[in-house]
Structure 1
C-alpha cells in the first residue's frame, strides 16, 4: 500500500511538471503557483494551478490519474465534477494521465474537462485561451497491451463475441465456445471492460462498442503467422471452383483449408475479381489443395497463394456460404483484406458495410 501511494505521488509530481511546462509556452498566461491537495486521497483533486490571464485570476483544478483507460477516466471525471460542484464552480477541471486514447479524450470533452497526458496530447480551453495538441505516438505499454489483446488465443475469444456482439456470455461458456482457458477469457474480459468496449449485464458479458473494437483491431492487425507459398494452377472458372470445393470438403471437426482474403470475399460480399486465389490451410489442407488443384511451385506467374498456418486453431473460425465453399469468417476476411493494399482496403470497407454493421 505504501509503495502504491509513493508511486501515485511520483506521478502526481510528473503531472504537475507537465502542466507547468505546457502553460509556460503560452505568453498570455502567468502561472502563479501549483498547490497540492493534501487532504483525503479520494477527494477528486490532486492539485490546483493558479494563474493570471490578461490580469484576471483563474484556476485549473487537476486530477492525476495513473491509468488512462476509459473506465478509469470516466470515474476520475465524475470525481472531478463532484469536487467542482462543491468547491470550485468558477475553475476549469483538468484530467492528467500517462496516456489518453482518442476514446478517453472524447470522454474529457463530453464532461467539459481539459486534459493532458505525458505523451504530449493536450486540450485546455478557458478565458479566451485555447491550447490543443495531438501526437500520433502511443506508449510502449499501451501498444503491448493491445498486441496481447489481439494475439491468437485472445483473438479466438474476440471472434466468437463479434459474431453476435449483443449476446451475453458467462466466462465458462465463452471459454468453451472459443476453446481457450478460463484465464484467457478473464484477461480479455478485463481488457474489454477497461476500454469500455464491453459491459456486464445480469446475464453476462457483451460487446457494447463492437465498432471501436474492430477499428482498433484493424489498426494493429498482423496477418496470421505461417508459410506463405505461391503456386500456379492450370484450372480456371468452374473447373477451379468445383475442384477447390471438393478439396475443402470437411470430414473432420474443422476444415483443413478455406478460401481467404479476396477469394473468401468473393463468396461473402463480392467486390470485383482478382486474378489470384487465396487460401488458409493446415499442412494436410495444403496437400489436398496441391492434389485437387494441380498446383506447381513457381517463382513467378503465381496465381494462387496458400498460407500454411502456424496456429491451426484459426480454422475453427470458418463458414460455408455455399456447399463446399468454406471461407474464413467475416471478421477474419475483413482483417486480411485490410492489409492487402489499396484494393484490399476498398474490398474490406465494402464487406464491412454489407456484413459488419451492428445495432448497439
Structure 2
C-alpha cells in the first residue's frame, strides 16, 4: 500500500529534494507524483516515482538508506531487485544514500540498479533518459569516519587481525591482544563489516578482504606524529649495522628502538639502499642509539633520522629477522614507505608483494 508524499522524516527529506531537483532538469520528463511506501504484508520500496517521459509513463522504484556502505548497499540492491522481479518488471530501480563510494557505484552498475547520492554522484537511466554525474571529492564526514578506523587504538586491532588474516576472532580476544576496550573493538568490527572488509562467522570475526583494507589504510595514511630528530654518524657499512643491532637488542635493558622505513625494508625485503638510516625509538632507546652510533645532532646533512612516535603501539609491533635487527613490522614498514616519495612507493610495492600477500 502506498500513500502520497508528505511529512517526510528528516533523513528522507534531503534525498527527496535531491531526486526531484535532478529529474526536473530533464526537459522531456514530467513528474506526476512521488509516493511513499507504507509497511504492509509485502516489503514496499521507500518511494515510487511516477513519470512521463516524452508522453510515455514510467516508474522509478527507489530504496533510500541512511548508510551507503557496501553491506547496507547490498541489502538495498537485493530488496530492489526482488521488488522489480515480482511486482514491477518494467520499472527502474534506484538506490539513494548520503554517499556512495566508487566501489558501491560499481556494485550498483553490476546489478543493473541506478543510483543517486547527496554529494552529487548519480547514474540513472530509463526510457531514453541518461543521467550521469561524478564528484571527485569524498565528503568530509566519510573521510573522518574512515580515518577514525586507522587511529592508534583502532590500528592496534587491525594490526592483530592482519598478523593472522585467516584467524576468526572473538571480540574479547581482540580486546585482550590489542589492549583496547571491548566497546572500541566492537566499533572497529562494525566498520569492517559495513565495508565488507570482514564478515561475522560462527567462529568470530574474519577478514574477508585484507587487501582492500590495506589499500584504504595506505591511501589515508600519513606519517605518525612524533618528534623527528636528525643526526650525523661517522660510522658506515658493517660498523654502523653492527652498532645499531647491538643497541636494538630487545633483551638489552629498558628502552625500545627499531629500524624503520627504508632501513627496516633492507632486512624485511631488500629493494634499494639509501644513504640515510631510519629508526623509531622511545626516549631511552634514543639514548642507546646516540651512544652506540656516536650521533651528533645536525640541521642538515643528516645520515640518521630517529622518530620518537607518540603512538607506543608502533614500537610494540616489531619483528626481528636477524639477531638484534629489530624492525617495524612489515605492515608498518609498508605504510611508512608508501608516504616516502617515488622510491618509497616502489620499495613499498616490492615489500607488499614479498611479505604482505594474502590468499583470496
Q: TM tier, shorter chain? A: over 0.9
Cα shift at 1:254: 9.1
Contact 1:44–1:82 (CA under 8 A) maintained in structure 2: no
1:269-321 Cα deviation digits (max 9, x unpaired): 11211111111111111001000001110011101110012122221110011
Alignment of 1:185-224 (within 5 A): 185-224=185-224
Q: For the aligned residues, what is the CA RMSD?
A: 2.0
Alignment of 1:166-245 (within 5 A): 166-245=166-245
Alignment of 1:117-156 (within 5 A): 117-156=117-156
Contact 1:8–1:66 (CA under 8 A) maintained in structure 2: no
Q: TM-score, normalised by structure 2?
A: 0.93
Contact 2:32–2:52 (CA under 8 A) maintained in structure 1: no
Matched with 2:355 is: 355
Alignment of 1:16-165 (within 5 A): 16-27=16-27, 29-40=28-39, 43-165=43-165
Distance 1:143 1:78 in 2: 27
Contact 1:261–1:333 (CA under 8 A) maintained in structure 2: yes
Distance 2:255 2:24 in 1: 63
1:32-74 Cα deviation digits (max 9, x unpaired): 2232224218834121223333443322111111111111111
Alignment of 1:335-350 (within 5 A): 335-350=335-350
SS in structure 2 of the partner of residue 26 of structure 1 = coil
Distance 2:164 2:216 in 1: 18
How many pairs does the alignment contain? 354
Alignment of 1:2-17 (within 5 A): 9-17=9-17
Distance 1:8 1:176 in 2: 45
Contact 1:16–1:34 (CA under 8 A) maintained in structure 2: no
- Between 304-313 and 48-57, the greater mean CA deviation after superposition: 48-57
SS in structure 1 of the partner of residue 321 of structure 2 = strand
Distance 1:7 1:324 in 2: 68
1:207-242 Cα deviation digits (max 9, x unpaired): 101111111111111221110011111111100100
Cα shift at 1:14: 1.7
Distance 2:297 2:333 in 1: 25
Indicate how the Cα distance of structure 1 residues 26 and 276 shifts in structure 2: closer, same or farther if over 3 A, else same.
farther
Alignment gaps of 5+ in structure 2: 1-5
Matched with 2:3 is: none
Alignment gaps of 5+ in structure 1: 1-5
Q: TM-score, normalised by structure 1?
A: 0.93
Distance 2:60 2:52 in 1: 11
Contact 1:69–1:194 (CA under 8 A) maintained in structure 2: yes
Contact 2:277–2:303 (CA under 8 A) maintained in structure 1: yes
Distance 1:153 1:349 in 2: 26
Cα shift at 1:10: 2.3
1:169-213 Cα deviation digits (max 9, x unpaired): 111111222122222211111111111110111111111011111
Distance 1:313 1:12 in 2: 42
